[in-house]
Structure 1
Amino acid sequence: MACSICKLGDTKPGHVTVTLEKGETIVLLKHVPADVCQNCGHYYLDSETAAKILQTGKEAVSKGAELEIVNLRVA
């Protein structure tokens, strides 16, 4: 797929780190599967992965976590 941000690169399957922040909570998700632009590094998540990330963030906020690090490779 052509990157919609830089318009110069194509995406390839890879892994990224996603950071979510809400209020006093920061969630760092490592090894998130994504399609990554080979030119600019912008990434695209599928809907299932995006839903999992958002759910993880909601859970961290609801339990009052200040910093939570999640490795999706082993999750």
Structure 2
Amino acid sequence: MKCVICKSGEIRSGKTTITFEREGFTLVVKEVLAEVCMNCEEDYVDEAITHEIMVLAERSAKNGTLIDVRRYVPGSVTC
């Protein structure tokens, strides 16, 4: 598959870091499984993984957390 951003890079399995910020809350999730462009490094995260991270962000923000940095562990968030 070719990258939709740079139109020339090949997409390969890899890992990325996702940063989520909203209303004074910051969540950083490292080592997230993704498809990554070998040319421009654009990353594509699976819908299920994105949903997990959004659930994690909502829970952390509701608990009053300001900054949360985590390593991604597949299936660690029960939706």
TM-score w.r.t. the length of structure 2 is 0.88
- Unaligned 5+ segments in structure 1 are none
Q: Matches of residues 1-75 of structure 1 in structure 2 within 5 Å?
A: 1-73=1-73, 75=76
Letter in 1 for 2:51: A
Number of equivalent positions: 75
Cα RMSD after superposing both structures: 1.2
- Unaligned 5+ segments in structure 2 are none
Alignment partners' CA distance in 1, 2:60 and 2:73: 18
Report the Cα offset of residue 8 of structure 1: 1.1
Letter in 2 for 1:67: I
